[in-house]
Amino acid sequence: MLDLTPKEITKRKALRINPAKTCQPIGAMYASLGIHGCLPHSHGSQGCCAYHRSHLTRHYKEPIMAATSSFTEGAAVFGGGANLRQALKTMFTVYDPEVVAVHTTCLSETIGDDLPSLIKKAAEDGIIPKGKTVIHTNTPSFVGSHVTGFSNMTRSMVRYFSRENGETRELINIIPGYVEPSDMREIKRLSAEMGIKSVVFPDTSDVLDAPQRGRLELYPKGGVTTKELRDTGEAAATLALGGFASEDAAIELERKCGVSYELLDLPIGISATDRFIQAAIDITGKEPPASITDDRGRVVDIMTDMLQYLYGRKVALFGDPDHLISMTEFVKDLGMKPVHVITGTPGKKFERRIKALLKDTVPDVNVRSAADLFLMHQWIKNSPVDLLIGNVYGKYIARAEDIPFVRFGFPILDRIGHSYFPTVGYAGAMRLLEKMVGAILDRKDRDDPDEHFELVM
């Protein structure tokens, strides 16, 4: 397994090996699926769209519908305007979406297709039926990562839909970040339990966790509606969860409609969830019901009961920056030592944030943005860990180095659960604790000699 990875680390300037990120459009496609009645559209060659659909399908085990402009060489030379017009005609005739959310690819970005003008022209020419909306976002993959694409499409939702009519409603916006349908559902549940009226956008719950009913819903019942998106402009405030995936949309909403926002970390783990609940209290003046405080208590209960298996353990984490910031804090709260932390997404502020979080407990943490799993593996070879936390690609390193492994983040292509069980909120914290303790104890059970093989742990 990964036998050719040397322990010795050489500096690389050009070669990316085993990336810890992917490209922008897939994030944009995922975000688009969180609009009700939306057909995502990839403006470029058809290969990108095929890859993005396949990858999201492997992660969700659900239909991922999206169309493509199917560029051929002619379009690459002369621009993809004609392809987009044809695509819009075909989509509205055959698939009748309420919204088409167009994102670009490296090809259409390199060509420089001007999407706003193309869309405007299509509307003037009657290619976009009355009452239907075509939105767009630019997602060049030579900038940022899949997280950036998600963020860009979410910001486009604001640009195209949010309206302000001078009134402020008793409503808050929650931008949940690049999280799972289960997480979005949990965020809605928490806000409803607190008696808060909120718009969560994008919202892929009831889209990418759709039930088996024996019939295909091209547009499942979930997703934020265009009306709800319009209302975001009249909300009292916005909670943006995760600086990398959600802040841009919140800034846009403040700029466009004057809705002030508060930036929070993704509510993963106990401290970040506490801050989320506290912010909701501060903004709305509503008290959380006892059920939420009880759930919190249950998390702390597990923490106190299981600390002997977690305390002092070294952990390596990789994945998307917003997830990692909260998860690093959580494992720190558990008394563990996050010694290696890597994201593929570029951003020095990520490194600063992780260092700040760990300055008292792991001052010499290895942290790097715009890094890859090859480096992570080498770091682990040089300084071994007790637990690896990350997306599915971690299983290769875990096997090569024989380390307990907890799947966390995007993508998870080889297990189910992430669509159905949240990692956010106190419920999510309990689930993460169960997974971490389980992974560590399974390993102990595997390695213990017979005479030490314990019934009670």
Task: Show the binding pattern over residues 101-130: x = contacts other proteins (CB under 8 A), - = does not.
Answer: ----xxx-xxx-------------------
Span 208-267, contacts to ligand SF4 by CB under 6 A: none
d(CA 191, CA 392) in angstroms, rounded, equals 31
Q: Quick one: which of 23, 196, 354, 380 contacts ligand SF4 (CB under 6 A)?
A: 23
Task: Show the binding pattern over residues 87-116: x = contacts ligand SF4 (CB under 6 A), - = does not.
Answer: ------------------xxx---------
Only one of the segments 89-97, 169-177, 265-273, 444-452 lies at the binding site for other proteins (rule: CB under 8 A); that segment is 89-97
Span 365-424, contacts to other proteins by CB under 8 A: 374, 396
90/110 with CB nearer ligand SF4: 110
Closest CB 18 distance from other proteins, rounded Å = 5
**Quick one: what does residue 18 bind among other proteins, ligand SF4, none, with the CB cut-off 5 to 8 Å set by partner type?**
other proteins
Q: Which of 169, 291, 155, 300 is nearest to 234 (CA)?
A: 169
Q: Quick one: which of 13, 130, 415, 452 contacts other proteins (CB under 8 A)?
A: 13
**Quick one: what does residue 94 bind among other proteins, ligand SF4, none, with the CB cut-off 5 to 8 Å set by partner type?**
other proteins
Q: Quick one: which of 31, 35, 88, 270 contacts other proteins (CB under 8 A)?
A: 88
Closest CB 430 distance from ligand SF4, rounded Å = 36
d(CA 153, CA 433) in angstroms, rounded, equals 32
Structure tokens belonging to residue 341 = 């932390």
* Position 32 contacts other proteins (CB under 8 A): no
DSSP one-letter string for 320-384: -HHHHHHHHHHHHHTT-EEEEEEESS--HHHHHHHHHHHTTT-TT-EEESS-BHHHHHHHHHHS-
Applying CB under 6 A, the site for ligand SF4 has a residue count of 10
**Quick one: what does residue 68 bind among ligand SF4, other proteins, none, with the CB cut-off 5 to 8 Å set by partner type?**
other proteins
- What is the total residue count of the chain? 457
Span 139-178, contacts to ligand SF4 by CB under 6 A: 141
First to last CA, the chain: 32
Q: Quick one: which of 2, 16, 18, 51 contacts ligand SF4 (CB under 6 A)?
A: 51
Closest CB 245 distance from other proteins, rounded Å = 18
Task: Output the CA–CA distances (angstroms, integers) from residue 77 to 81, 224, 405, 457, in the order listed.
Answer: 11, 37, 47, 66
Only one of the segments 24-32, 157-165, 226-234, 433-441 lies at the binding site for other proteins (rule: CB under 8 A); that segment is 24-32
Beta-bridge mates of residue 405: 388
d(CA 308, CA 314) in angstroms, rounded, equals 13
Helices (H), 68-209: 73-78, 81-94, 106-111, 115-124, 146-161, 181-193
d(CA 13, CA 10) in angstroms, rounded, equals 10
* Position 346 contacts ligand SF4 (CB under 6 A): no
* β-pairing verdict for 261-264 and 314-319: unpaired
Q: Quick one: which of 29, 31, 37, 41 contacts other proteins (CB under 8 A)?
A: 41
Q: Quick one: which of 79, 89, 98, 434 contacts other proteins (CB under 8 A)?
A: 89
- The helix/strand/coil state of 79 is coil
Q: Which residues contact 77 (CB under 8 A, 6 or more apart)?
A: none
- Please return the burial class of 142, using the count of CB atoms within 10 Å of its CB with bins 0-12, 13-18 and 19+: exposed
Span 266-285, contacts to ligand SF4 by CB under 6 A: none
Q: Which residues contact 285 (CB under 8 A, 6 or more apart)?
A: none
Give the interface with ligand SF4 as residue ranges (CB under 6 A). Answer: 23, 25, 45, 47-48, 51, 105-107, 141
